[in-house]
Amino acid sequence: MTDSAAGKPTLEQQLFDQWPDGLRALFDGTSLVSKIGFTASLLTTDTIGHLRTSLLGIGELYAPDSRSLCIALWPQARCARALAQNRRAALTFVFDDAFYQVQLEFVPLPVDDDARDASAGLVCFRGSIDMGEAQRVRYARLTSGITFALEEGKDATLERWMQQIDYLKRAAGRSS
């Protein structure tokens, strides 16, 4: 894409195979209150080729290292079933004025029977980054993607998120 007036490219692309520092900090499992509203879209393909999407909040995403992302999904979610079958997904989101798409290959995380209450029945996966891409254009700044506001039960949701992140941290530690 070019700016016709100046003839200069306007699309800036950044490729990566490990989390840039800002994203690593976003997915580090800390300061969840300040990250409320962030939403990522997890795209999978089911066995008959249909695309499935799950919207994930910051309390369902944890990067244990620079090349991985652990996620927590409800077991009845179509994305959870699709991910268990074909193990590949793309995570898309807006962050720092850019559109991100990260291709990941997932494996299920082992279930910890001692911490089953903390998991709230979620199924968890660990994804390895295959390739990530950030896109920006000079003439427009992305200010948000899909975002949300917590309404009723905000404190209970934050508490659940903290428990989920703790569970993901323990599960990620067992799978290393």
Provide the 8-state DSSP code for 41.
Answer: E
Write out the chain's pLDDT in tens, 176 residues: 545 455 566 889 999 999 999 999 999 999 999 999 999 999 999 889 999 999 999 999 999 999 999 999 998 998 999 999 999 999 999 999 999 999 999 999 987 666 555 567 889 999 999 999 999 988 888 888 888 888 888 899 999 899 999 989 988 888 76
Residue 78: give its domain's CATH number.
2.30.110.10
- Distance in angstroms (rounded) separating the CA atoms of residues 110 and 71: 13
Q: Are 150 and 157 in contact (CB under 8 A)?
A: yes
Is residue 61 in a domain?
yes
- Does residue 4 form part of some domain? no
Residue whose C-alpha is closest to residue 135's, from 12, 22, 1: 12
Residue 5 lies inside a defined structural domain of this protein: no
Specify the number of domains making up the chain.
Answer: 1
C-alpha neighbours within 13 Å on the C-beta side of residue 150 = 19
Q: What is the DSSP string of 47-66?
A: TTS-EEEEEEEGGGEE-SST
